């Protein structure tokens, strides 16, 4: 089934993640269930990467009040532990997406399709489900945020990530930057001198190149 056709099918689940490219902070995965898209058309929902954080902070609570959703948070310390074990971020994301979807399915919903923003091999998600009929409802597409359900999930995930980053910044006593470019290294060095190398794994993803640079 092609992507444009999937976009017209309801009810559906859409799932997306935020934070996998950020040196600081957690990975957040969100799955959203939409029965009737008319309920949120007025929110002008789009991929969270294409709208400002202030806009995310404004519309995410509205979406959260309107739709059923599930959020899975993987904080740095746990993420580092999992990455050390699996050496593969897609395995971690596969578990997180499947868990978010399972949490939603427990709410007695009946999606016709389950749409995941494609991040790696589909088996990373599907291996967590045994029901073959359910597996056939899954579809994986790159840039799936063009779908209203995945875009809604993206916005809630971003909203949650922003809140968690504020908490981490308060804990660190430093404004922690987003991304993983060289620009974050200076803050990471400041944090390292403040809390020691041993405690950095509570704030950062230690397999990133930034960790070696500092």
Give me the residue spans of the domains in the chain: 8-213
What would the pLDDT profile of 115-170 be if each residue is shown by its tens digit?
999 999 999 999 999 999 999 999 999 999 999 999 999 999 999 999 999 999 99
Q: What's the start-to-end Cα distance of the chain, in Å? A: 47
pLDDT in tens, the chain (214 residues): 788 889 899 999 999 999 999 999 999 999 999 999 998 987 878 766 788 999 999 999 999 999 999 999 999 999 999 999 999 999 999 999 999 999 999 998 999 999 999 999 999 999 999 999 999 999 999 999 999 999 999 999 999 999 999 999 999 999 999 999 999 999 999 999 999 999 999 999 999 999 999 9
Q: How far apart are CA 168 and CA 166, in angstroms?
A: 5
| Spatial contact of 90 and 57, defined as CB atoms under 8 Å apart | no
| Spatial contact of 23 and 180, defined as CB atoms under 8 Å apart | yes
Phi-psi region of 26 (alpha: psi -120 to 50; beta: other; left: phi over 0): beta
Helix (H) or strand (E) holding 155: helix 148-172
- Give the pair of three-digit tokens for residue 139: 């579809």
SS3 of residue 144 by DSSP = helix
Mean of pLDDT over the chain: 95
Query: 8-213: which CATH number, 1.10.357.10, 3.40.50.150, 3.30.450.80, 3.30.420.10?
Result: 3.30.420.10
């Amino acid at each position: 089934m092609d992507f444009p056709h999937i976009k017209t099918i309801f009810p559906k689940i859409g799932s997306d993640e935020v934070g996998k490219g950020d040196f600081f902070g957690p990975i957040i995965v969100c799955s959203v269930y939409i029965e009737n898209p008319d309920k949120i058309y007025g929110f002008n929902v789009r991929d969270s990467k294409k709208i400002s954080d202030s806009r995310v902070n404004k519309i995410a609570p509205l979406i959260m009040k309107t739709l059923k959703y599930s959020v899975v948070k993987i904080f740095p310390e746990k993420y580092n532990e999992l990455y050390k074990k699996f050496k593969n971020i897609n395995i971690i994301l596969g578990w997180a997406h499947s868990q978010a979807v399972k949490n939603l399915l427990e709410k007695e919903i009946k999606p016709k399709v389950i749409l995941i923003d494609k991040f790696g091999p589909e088996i990373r998600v599907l291996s967590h489900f045994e029901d073959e009929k359910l597996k056939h409802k899954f579809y994986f597409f790159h840039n799936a945020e063009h779908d209203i359900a995945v875009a809604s999930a993206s916005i809630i995930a971003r909203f949650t990530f922003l809140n968690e980053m504020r908490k981490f910044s308060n804990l660190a006593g430093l404004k922690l930057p987003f991304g993983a470019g060289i620009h974050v290294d200076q803050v990471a060095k400041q944090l390292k001198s403040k809390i020691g190398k041993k405690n950095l794994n509570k704030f950062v993803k230690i397999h990133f190149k930034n960790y070696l640079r500092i």
